Structure 1
């Protein structure tokens, strides 16, 4: 008997999406309530952003789209997700403490997909819950690409096990429509031609961008050494404020500055550095940490807390308090303004570092409003850092605890 021919494989990366609704939604509420609303009511928007690619071969085909939610609390959002093509799995609370069955249902479905005949290439887990670390390990052992979408602090082991992490601020940006570029969470599964095409994209604002490029080139060539990326970004945005939306189509500052050429080199290490390749190299970058070896280095290495100095943290809290007193701003805009203020004050910090602090303040329920003070921000952030250390099982003696509080608070909580 003649065997029927197997169906031709359609182009695109075969992917599966598993969404822990409760975890992501509550995480987004702490970061940006408007983004949380859009996540819950318009899942098609960000799902399409994840699906998009530079070509048919590099785009994703989500063969599985599962959403796990507590129907008692979030049933009103079910219709939005079913209309967006998601299969919604009810995971009610099964214990007196309110623990739902999301974890076990998600893991069982994911393992079925892993062993199934669909040939999934890439698995997306939308959750910051480190309980899924073992699941990510199974995906890697099966040689599958893995991406975590996090709306919250991500445990170090969970982050390192995944091939890629869509960070909270990036996810908020796509939800709020401030990122024109589709999210390419795992570039390594795209064909080489697609990756090359993505890097060599036309710039729509050649005149405006060239002004920023000239400013960056002049600034870097006149600098006495490698320059912190935040300072270079500030100069570029001063020359062309329109770049703040999506960096001329490149999505992020690092990607934009890396393609400038003309002897301008960029490294994302330790917050990002830019230098004149004719006079310097990566060997001229400063040592691994700008803080003195000790408690700060241990904490930043284990918990992902930004490796800022005590003075940088202090300036960050002062700038944030000042901005909050001026006028209400959304958290995405707040991080940009605070970054710029710190650069102007001579204590440059990256926008990613500011976002991490803002996120941490949300976890301890500190209200970012006009009543916020630098001292209050410092105390709340230090509480968050101490909790991160506790979760990471870090142990300190009394002297180290005092040093930790002094450093994380920018000196406001000096022993």
Structure 2
């Protein structure tokens, strides 16, 4: 490799962005067509959002901005990207099956950037294609930070190799203008020992904080984060926009202080540090070591119990019957309904299920029933297991189907009521 050029003295993390346009656009179209349109027609917006999310408050400088697209299908978007400062590389289909040259072009130019004299600190790969796993390995071996932007299912090995993954729902939130937590990045040498950038402060006297403090301090043990979030949103509905500038519930509740502790483990837990600790967190409900635990560990399927999955599908079907909802609103309402029903689940878990339904090409409309939702989701879980090379015998397959479907498929097959 060439020796990196000395730093110019200009502030910012030196970053490179490589976008697999076809992969991201088609993934977003399956999740949120409006977000896909914003991705394609306003790349400057979301690129600037990522540029502002560096470690220690330091912004990123994208020294390289490359977009790889099929000109036969997506040429109408070219001008949006060139105006946003991207270099657009045409990658037309080269085979009868429509396979383009995106992968090889992206890899070659990314390796040129890694071995060049630019001294790139962080590499962004916008693609859910696990074929780039080996490329991420090269970045890590060269001690570079790596961030994957995914608009689709992400293979476990690909996810684990990257330093950070911008999940589908987080990327959609960026595209829709909703604040999310800053994307982790490497700090420059001059900032490695600098104090962290100041974050917005929550008013101690706010109704939400008062309600959360009272709830947590009187609870008999650690409380599920979804229940605490529900209490906070009930006291102050304005928090649902972006949690008072903190982006996510976990960030908001963690900075309250006053002995309130938060852990994202198992969907999120909150407790009074004067009486409890992380050692008091319970084991995942109904998930003793076994086939379900193996699936959740390898595929990232939420570690919910059979009863929790069932409640998610029942709540989702009920909400869809009422009126059409966008995915963001639907995930919030389903989370709240599950909490009210005594089967609390995190919003991230609901989003993961919605994402799986999209991958299964399931149409979310007022005709969807709980068993229909359960069947589509279970098919997605089985596909994730297949891709992860998990092999099950007949009894194990039956156990996975019963668990992932919340018992609804089994109930349907035996003629029992699913109401």
RMSD: 1.8
Contact kept in structure 2, 1:11 and 1:57, CA below 8 Å:
no
SS of 1:128's partner is coil
Structure 1 position 97, deviation (Å):
0.9
SS of 1:197's partner is coil
In the superposition, relative to structure 1, how do residues 56 and 321 fare at CA in structure 2: closer, same or farther (>3 Å)?
Answer: closer
Answer yes or no: is 1:253 the counterpart of 2:252: no
Pairing partner for 2:219 from 209, 223, 227:
223
1:232-381 aligned at under 5 Å gives the runs: 232-287=228-283, 290-381=286-377
Pairing partner for 1:184 from 182, 197, 209:
182
SS of 2:343's partner is coil
In the superposition, relative to structure 1, how do residues 194 and 94 fare at CA in structure 2: closer, same or farther (>3 Å)?
Answer: farther
Answer yes or no: is 1:11 the counterpart of 2:11: yes
Structure 1 position 184, deviation (Å):
2.2
* CA displacement, residues 119-146 of structure 1 (integer Å, 9 cap, x when unaligned): 0000000011111110000000000000
Aligned position for 2:409? 413
In the superposition, relative to structure 1, how do residues 103 and 194 fare at CA in structure 2: closer, same or farther (>3 Å)?
Answer: farther
Contact kept in structure 1, 2:55 and 2:185, CA below 8 Å:
no
CA distance in 2, matches of 1:394, 1:202: 46
For normalisation by structure 1, the TM-score amounts to: 0.94
1:15-414 aligned at under 5 Å gives the runs: 15-53=15-53, 58-179=58-179, 184-189=182-187, 191-192=191-192, 196-198=196-198, 200-203=199-202, 206=203, 210-287=206-283, 290-414=286-410
In the superposition, relative to structure 1, how do residues 273 and 193 fare at CA in structure 2: closer, same or farther (>3 Å)?
Answer: same
In the superposition, relative to structure 1, how do residues 120 and 284 fare at CA in structure 2: closer, same or farther (>3 Å)?
Answer: same
CA distance in 2, matches of 1:134, 1:270: 30
Contact kept in structure 1, 2:56 and 2:194, CA below 8 Å:
no
Contact kept in structure 2, 1:300 and 1:306, CA below 8 Å:
yes
Structure 1 position 413, deviation (Å):
1.5
In the superposition, relative to structure 1, how do residues 408 and 57 fare at CA in structure 2: closer, same or farther (>3 Å)?
Answer: closer
Structure 1 position 178, deviation (Å):
2.1
Contact kept in structure 2, 1:11 and 1:56, CA below 8 Å:
no
Count the aligned residue pairs. Answer: 405
Q: Which runs of 5+ in 1 are unaligned?
A: none
SS of 1:9's partner is coil
CA distance in 2, matches of 1:242, 1:196: 27
Aligned position for 2:416? none
CA distance in 2, matches of 1:26, 1:153: 12
Contact kept in structure 1, 2:54 and 2:186, CA below 8 Å:
no
Contact kept in structure 1, 2:56 and 2:187, CA below 8 Å:
no
CA distance in 2, matches of 1:11, 1:340: 43
Structure 1 position 9, deviation (Å):
2.8
Structure 1 position 246, deviation (Å):
1.1
CA distance in 2, matches of 1:408, 1:283: 28
Greater mean deviation of Cα atoms: 67-76 or 50-59 = 50-59
In the superposition, relative to structure 1, how do residues 6 and 188 fare at CA in structure 2: closer, same or farther (>3 Å)?
Answer: closer
CA distance in 1, matches of 2:229, 2:57: 33
Structure 1 position 291, deviation (Å):
1.5
Q: Which runs of 5+ in 2 are unaligned?
A: 414-419
* CA displacement, residues 310-341 of structure 1 (integer Å, 9 cap, x when unaligned): 00000000111111111111111111111111
Contact kept in structure 2, 1:130 and 1:155, CA below 8 Å:
yes
